[in-house]
Amino acid sequence: MKLRLLVSSLAMAGFGVATSIAHAAISNDVIRIGFTTDMSGVYADNDGPMGVEAIRLAIADAGGAIDGKKIELLILDHQNKPDIAASKAREWFDQEKIDVLIAGSNSAVALALSTVATEKKKPIFAIGAGSSDLTNAQCSPYMVHYAYDTVALSRGTASAVVKNGGDSWFFITADYAFGHSLERDAAAVVKASKGSVKGAVKVPLAASDFSSYMLQAQGSGAKILGLANAGGDTVNSIKAANEFGVTKTMNMAGLLVYINDIHALGLEATQGMYLTDFWYWNANDTNRAFTKRFQVKFPKFVPNMNQVADYSAVAFYLKGVKETHSTDTDVMMKWMKSNKVNDLFATNGYVRPEDGRMIHDMTLMQVKKPSESKGPWDYYNIIANLKGEDIFTKLSESTCKLVKK
């Protein structure tokens, strides 16, 4: 009986029926977004509470509701523990009926979340999780790897360092998925550029004592200390390198460095460092305007690339919901892989249909000397634009099982 009524209404409604069916696809009369990030640990400043604020700005810009359906945000402090994140995500999907999952930081966590999202057949965005495995060896049809990854970071920063004479490297590596991927991908760039890797040491996440690792780096004879880590680990590595005199014989290459890291360390300790980023608050009027909005809640900070990517990813998803009138996974995945990203984050960015890698340009930057800085947070010189097609993994290089060769 219900089927006959539906067929009858389809025949009568004509053009308007697509809209009515699509409206029904907004689950439970609410649009729910689940955001998992490090709210209090080693990566909290890189995403954390400021990432939450960026997402709230995106929800506000979408009007707080679509087709009369309220947009809700659920937040989890995953504590950098994949099991905690996976358990909560499963609960969110089963009980809260979330429509999309945003993985804010930590690659090991994002890989665990991707497994759950794939099981539940729901979209997941990886933002601050950089491991290239997310769209290579452990790819998923439901993954959108939105911001950077370890291949792009390496092809940006490591290539620039080698070209400037830094042809022998020793790596300080965060001992989990992200650090392993970053060391692997950076080492590949160094070797492809006729450089050499003199050694590496694995360091537990959130380590407090880097002294023994710095002694190993000094003893390697390498020119470059490659920091295959992020957040508080990068900050502590650079502090230790200065304290133990490593910087007298080695130059540092931060393979994932945020503007808040530079702020914490100061220009005296970081001047001249190359880094790959895709967003700088002082690059143009649009970025400066967004920064002013962001600073209403966080007046002492500027947004970094993770937080802007959080904003953009949610804005992109909600734009798709608004245009399709649907949160259905198949509808949204098709829409996201058919539409470009044009906002303060990216120009003509696109989600590659085969593996979910979002392709967008990035920027090679160099930290200013103290004498060059004109004021607070004025830290970068822009060196070169890096085309997305050149720095992200090409389909011909991909190990993703979804990519047809």
Residue 368: how many other CB atoms lie within 10 Å: 18
| φ/ψ of residue 381, rounded to 5 | -105, 130
Residues in the chain: 405
Using the predicted structure, report yes or no on whether residue 13 has a pLDDT greater than 90: no
Judge: domain 151-282+362-395, CATH 3.40.50.2300.
yes
Whether the predicted pLDDT of 157 surpasses 70: yes
pLDDT confidence tier of residue 8, bands split at 50, 70 and 90: very low
Dihedral (Cα; 113, 116, 119, 122), 10-degree rounding: -60
Percentage of the residues of the chain whose pLDDT score is greater than 70: 94
Q: List C-alpha distances in Å: 73 to 26, 52, 68.
A: 15, 9, 16
Confidence label for 5 from pLDDT (cuts 50, 70 and 90): very low
Q: Quote the percentage of the chain above a pLDDT of 90.
A: 92
Q: Tell me the whole-structure pTM to 2 decimals.
A: 0.91
Exposed e or buried b per residue across 299-333, where buried means at least 16 C-beta atoms within 10 angstroms of its C-beta: eebbbbbbbbbbbbbbbbbbbbbeebbbbbbebbb
pLDDT at 26: 77
Band the pLDDT of 22: cuts 50, 70, 90.
very low
* 2-148+284-361: CATH topology: Rossmann fold (3.40.50)
Please, which pLDDT band fits residue 405 given cuts at 50, 70 and 90? confident
Output the CA–CA distances (angstroms, integers) from residue 164 to 159, 167, 272, in the order listed. 9, 8, 12
Which part of the chain has CATH 3.40.50.2300? 2-148+284-361, 151-282+362-395
- Burial group, residue 264, by CB count within 10 angstroms (0-12, 13-18, 19+): middle
Whether residue 57 is predicted with pLDDT greater than 60 in this model: the reply is yes
Cα separation, 138 vs 131, in Å, equals: 10
Look-up of token digits 């097609």? 389
Decide if 238 contacts 183 (C-beta within 8 A): no
- Residue pair 79/334 in contact (Cβ under 8 Å)? The answer is no
For the stretch 255-290, pLDDT in tens is: 999 999 999 999 999 999 999 999 999 999 999 999
Rounded to an integer, the average pLDDT of 220-231 is 96
Beta-sheet strand order (sheet of 30-37): 65-66, 69-77, 30-37, 100-105, 124-128, 143-145
Quote the tokens at residue 404. 């047809």
Give CA–CA dist 294/275, Å, rounded. Answer: 23
Closest CA to 82 of 121, 138, 32: 138
Residue 27 confidence (pLDDT): 67
Could you give the CA distance from residue 241 to residue 233 in angstroms, rounded to a whole number? 12
Distance CA 336, CA 359 (A): 12
Residue 125, both tokens: 């965005």
pLDDT at 9 over 70: no
Beta bridge partners of 217: none
How high does pLDDT run on average in the chain? 93
pLDDT band at 168 (very low <50, low <70, confident <90, very high): very high
Average pLDDT over residues 378-385: 95
pLDDT digits (tens, 9 = 90+) for 343-362: 999 999 999 999 999 999 99
Confidence of residue 42 (pLDDT cuts 50, 70, 90): very high
